[in-house]
Amino acid sequence: SDSELIAYRFSMMASFSEGLILSQKVGLDPNVLIE
């Protein structure tokens, strides 16, 4: 259903943003995660 797809996308974006925040706290370059 559309609601499940939206929830899935939202959880993916949330986990991705959390990963960026964690990498910044550790002091890693965000570009390293993308490659």
Contacts of 29 (CB under 8 A, 6+ apart): 23
Predicted model pTM: 0.47
pLDDT at 3: 93
pLDDT at 34: 62
Domain that holds residue 18: 2-34
In the chain, how many domains are there?
A: 1
pLDDT (tens place) for every residue of the chain, 35 residues total: 899 999 999 999 988 888 888 878 887 665 665 66
Contacts of 23 (CB under 8 A, 6+ apart): 29, 30, 32, 33
